[in-house]
Structure 1
Amino acid sequence: MPHIKHPVRKLKVIKTDEEWREQLTPIQYQITRQHGTERAFSSPNFDSSLKGTYGCVCCGRPLYRSETKYESGTGWPSFYQPISDDAVAAFEDRSYGMVRTEIRCADCDAHLGHVFPDGPPPTGLRYCMNGHALIFTED
């Protein structure tokens, strides 16, 4: 009988509300754990042009590369694609009387932002992220 290799599945990062509150700043907690949104032009990463990787502030999962970041004029860090197909997860968001697609970290379910169909080539997508939900590691 041949040996079958199964892909290694990463376990979800699960913490109590108290653990998240201890780890995160109040604004990071409000955005990532309570599905909040920072004010436009207020995050540390919205206009950065440094080369590197943007990861989840909650669990460190790499999410976006700086090469896919672009100036959308919205005041939030915007990317045209995630670092991999399994880095983020999409959910329908019907809050505030709108229908949008919410983006969360695939490993810890941190709310990151939303994706919209008005981005640049090659994807035509705008992953509009809360900068306080991201950590940046320079190359």
Structure 2
Amino acid sequence: MTFDPKIKKTEEEWREQLSEEEYHVLRQKGTERPYTGEYWDFKGEGEYSCRACGAKLFDSTAKFDSGCGWPSFFESHKDTIQYDQDNTHGMHRIEVMCKACGGHLGHVFNDAPQTPTGMRYCINSASIQFKDKGE
């Protein structure tokens, strides 16, 4: 499944804007190692947005400790996420991407019965940025 994101830049423009790790995750569908990202254990109150385009994606009230080593959320902001099948690496997963720019965020799993939705959005820290509630 393909989609047409609203924000379009050349790969050269993305490379200029993003760090090497951010580019690898957001544009090349990479994954950071567990327990290494900036937000995996972060507890601030506020919003998480796409690091590439600034689109608001998740609220801190939906963040929970899933024990997986990546930031986990049980829901996203409405109409901000694009979903696609990901059958790479011998697995069947659902990839989540920023609907505004097409940046790869991570994957979503239906394996969190302890949450209100039962869902676990497993997100790379390199793909998001946090804005404090007070800012």
| Alignment TM-score, normalising by the size of structure 2 | 0.93
Q: Specify which of 85, 91, 116 is matched with residue 92 of structure 1.
A: 85
Partner of 1:109: 102
Give 4+ residue runs of structure 1 displaced > 4 Å after superposition: none
1:72 counterpart SS class = coil
Q: Specify which of 12, 16, 21 is matched with residue 15 of structure 2.
A: 21
Q: Which amino acid aligns with 1:105?
A: C
Please say if 1:63 is aligned against 2:57: yes
Q: Aligned partners of 2:101, 2:35: CA distance in 1, in Å?
A: 26
Q: Specify which of 24, 48, 53 is matched with residue 30 of structure 1.
A: 24
Q: Which amino acid aligns with 2:10?
A: T
Partner of 1:80: 74
> Identity across aligned pairs (percent)?
44
Aligned residues: 128
Deviation for aligned residue 1:82: 0.0
Q: Which has the larger radius of gyration?
A: 1
Partner of 1:121: 115
Task: Could you tell me which runs of 5 or more consecutive residues in structure 1 were left unpaired when the two chains were aligned.
Answer: 1-10
1:30 counterpart SS class = helix
Supply the RMSD in Å over aligned alpha carbons: 0.8
Q: Aligned partners of 2:91, 2:35: CA distance in 1, in Å?
A: 22
Q: Which amino acid aligns with 1:56?
A: C
Q: Which amino acid aligns with 1:107?
A: A
Deviations 1:71-121 (A, max 9, x none): 01111000000021x110110001001110000000000000000011233
Task: Could you tell me which runs of 5 or more consecutive residues in structure 2 were left unpaired when the two chains were aligned.
Answer: none
